[in-house]
Structure formats: C-alpha cells, structure tokens
Amino acid sequence: MKAAVLAGQPEVAREAFGDLVTGCQRQATRLAFYLLRDASEADEAVQDAFVKVYTHITSYREDLPFDAWFTRILANTCRDRQKARRRRERWEVIGFDRRPELGSVVETARAGGLTPEESVLGGERQRELLKAIDALPKQQRTVLLLCHVEGQSPREVGALLGLNESTVRVHLFRALRKLRGVLEDSRVRR
C-alpha cells in the first residue's frame, strides 16, 4: 500500500487498504473493546486507527512488522479516547443509574438457560474480573490482554511492545498472580 501511495496510484492504494481493513477489522475491534470496555467506543477507535494508518502510511517503516505498527496506533487511539472520556466524566453531572433493570436481567437469564440468580452472580464475577484487570499496572494489563485474550505468543507481544520475550513473560506471570489473589479474596468474602 505504501508503495502505491508513493507511486501516485490511488486506486491500487485504496484496494490494498480495503484488504487491510477486511483482514484486521475483527481482531482490532476485539482488542479495542478489551482496552475500552465499550463497544461503540471500540468501533470508533478502530475507525480512527484505520484513518490514521491511511493518512500516515508514508511514515510506516517497512523493515518493521505492520501488525506492531498498527497495534501501537490502535492502542494509542484507545488511550486517547479513555483520557477524553475521563475528562468528560469529570465535568458531567451523573443523574441516572445506568444499571440494567431487574426485569431485563431475568429475561436475559431465561434466554441463556440460567436462573436469574446465576445470571446476576455471573455478572458480578465478570465485573470483579474486569475491575481487577483494570487495576493492574498498564504494562501488565496490556501483556495479559494480548497474550490471553488475543492469543498472541510472548514473542509476538514482545515485538509489538518493543520488549524482550522474557520481560513479557515476567509481566504476564505477575499479572496472573495479582488476578488470582484478587479473585481468591473475593471468593473468601462471599
């Protein structure tokens, strides 16, 4: 794609970019969702990242993996959106409780074959896990999400983040140890 842009072939560049979007869209949306925890924010972040890739393709260094470059752009875009959201929330007056009504929980539970109690407890466990992941240091959280959610190897994560593979493994080990501790503490309290 970069060569087509530099050669002044916009049609070829658009077609290559379309193929890129098709190939990366699902994985990018999944990663953005795990970083932002909001589907609409994740979709917008992915769109923004693709626009940034298209407008800055001439700065891409072809000696580096494209996935690493794109993932950094996407992660930075997600961080920017998180910062903007925090700024908005600081100034926003919260007037409504945004939790789902009990009736919708009951209907969702019946549709999934769970009892309402199981559905509520499952939602609580998921919130505890997400809260524990959010409490991890940034580097550990990123490594955990890329390895366990995205299914990337420590070597691939190291290439993406510019870290040694052994450093990635240490971050992953520490993140999992902290999560286990938090989740065991929550089980003891019940």
Model confidence over 40-49: pLDDT tens digits? 899 999 999 9
Within a domain: 107 = no
Q: Whole-number mean pLDDT of the chain?
A: 75
Question: Do 155 and 79 have their domain in common?
Answer: no
Tell me the C-alpha distance between 141 and 178, whole Å: 11
How is residue 152 annotated by DSSP?
Answer: -
On whether residue 110 sits in a domain, the answer given is no
Report the pLDDT value the prediction gives residue 44, as an integer from 0 to 100: 92
Rounded Cα gap, residues 74 and 49, in angstroms: 5
8 in the same domain as 56: yes
Q: Of 91, 126, 146, which residue sits at a domain end?
A: 91
CATH number of the domain encompassing residue 55: 1.10.1740.10
Based on the domain organization, do 81 and 6 belong to the same domain? yes
The per-residue pLDDT for range 48-104, each reduced to its tens digit, is: 998 898 888 888 777 777 788 888 899 999 988 888 787 666 544 333 333 333 333
Q: What percent of the chain has pLDDT over 70?
A: 69
Q: What is the CATH number of the domain that holds 152?
A: 1.10.10.10
Backbone angles phi, psi at 178, to 5 degrees: -65, -40
In this structure, the answer to whether residues 28 and 81 fall within a common structural domain is yes
127 within a domain of the structure (yes/no): yes
pTM recorded for the entire structure? 0.49
Instruction: Give yes or no: residues 9 and 74 share one domain.
Output: yes
**Average pLDDT for 148-153:** 77
Please tell me the total count of domains within the chain.
2
| 11 and 85 within one domain | yes
Secondary structure of residue 150 in the 3-state scheme = coil
Residues of the domain holding 49 = 2-91
Q: Are residues 65 and 18 in the same domain?
A: yes
In 3D space, the residue among 135, 137, 140, 132 whose CA is nearest the CA of residue 171 turns out to be 140
Residues 74 and 138 in one domain: no
Between these two residues, 6 and 40, which has the higher pLDDT value? 40
Confidence of residue 167 (pLDDT cuts 50, 70, 90): very high
Q: Is residue 75 a part of any domain in this protein?
A: yes
pLDDT band at residue 13 using 50, 70 and 90 as cut-offs: low
DSSP 51-102: HHHHHTGGG--TTS-HHHHHHHHHHHHHHHHHHHHHHHHHHPPP-S--SPPH
Sort residue 162 into left (φ over 0), alpha (ψ -120 to 50) or beta. left
Task: Provide the 10 A C-beta neighbour count for residue 173.
Answer: 12
